[in-house]
Amino acid sequence: MSPVPQHLVIMGVSGSGKTTISTLLSEHLGWIAAEADEFHPEANIAKMSSGTPLTDDDRWPWLDSIKNWMDTQAENGRSTIVTCSALKRVYRDVLGAAAGQVHFVHLNGSADVLRERMKTRSGHFMPPSLLPSQINTLEPLADDEPGIVVDILHSPAELADEILNRLHLPAN
């Protein structure tokens, strides 16, 4: 019997390090990884680039696209890692319904640390001016949600090790 495909949703507000951690975990586990930003339609990217927060109506098709990708990977026996802000419980409910077993990894940090990280990164469409709206929208993981919270003050390597250990995931 084949193992049940697993999905790690690396979540948190912009600047929390989702891409960095996803890359490290993908290298350790040998799982396929995807950036949720790649699933956004051009209209969403234009809206965020102009400093306008997305609405729930903007997000539903995007979340469905991510879930459908996770379903397709699971149907082909592949476990995945996907970065996604997953700010609200209802968003996580959509992603959590993907085929296989879904775990959320919330990269948590202070607004000051996040703001500094956003100021120093390049090549991303999300302006630092949207950070407050993301922080205000964020609903922390509830006790009944499958996931863990990790503090972004640790190094990326330490965070990856912590995630692997806490979720009992062996390296490939």
**Domain assignment of residue 86, yes or no:** yes
State the residue range of the domain holding 132: 6-166
pTM: 0.87
CATH code: domain of residue 72: 3.40.50.300
**Domain assignment of residue 35, yes or no:** yes
> 47-77 b/e with 16+ CB inside 10 Å = b?
bbeeeeebeeebbeebbeebbebbbebbeee
**Domain assignment of residue 100, yes or no:** yes
Instruction: Say yes or no to pLDDT of 18 above 70.
Output: yes
pLDDT digits (tens, 9 = 90+) for 42-56: 888 888 778 787 888
**Domain assignment of residue 128, yes or no:** yes
Instruction: Say yes or no to pLDDT of 171 above 70.
Output: no
Quick one: pLDDT at residue 145? 97
**Domain assignment of residue 171, yes or no:** no
**Domain assignment of residue 83, yes or no:** yes
Quick one: pLDDT at residue 120? 57
Total domains, the chain: 1
pLDDT digits (tens, 9 = 90+) for 66-84: 999 999 999 999 999 999 9
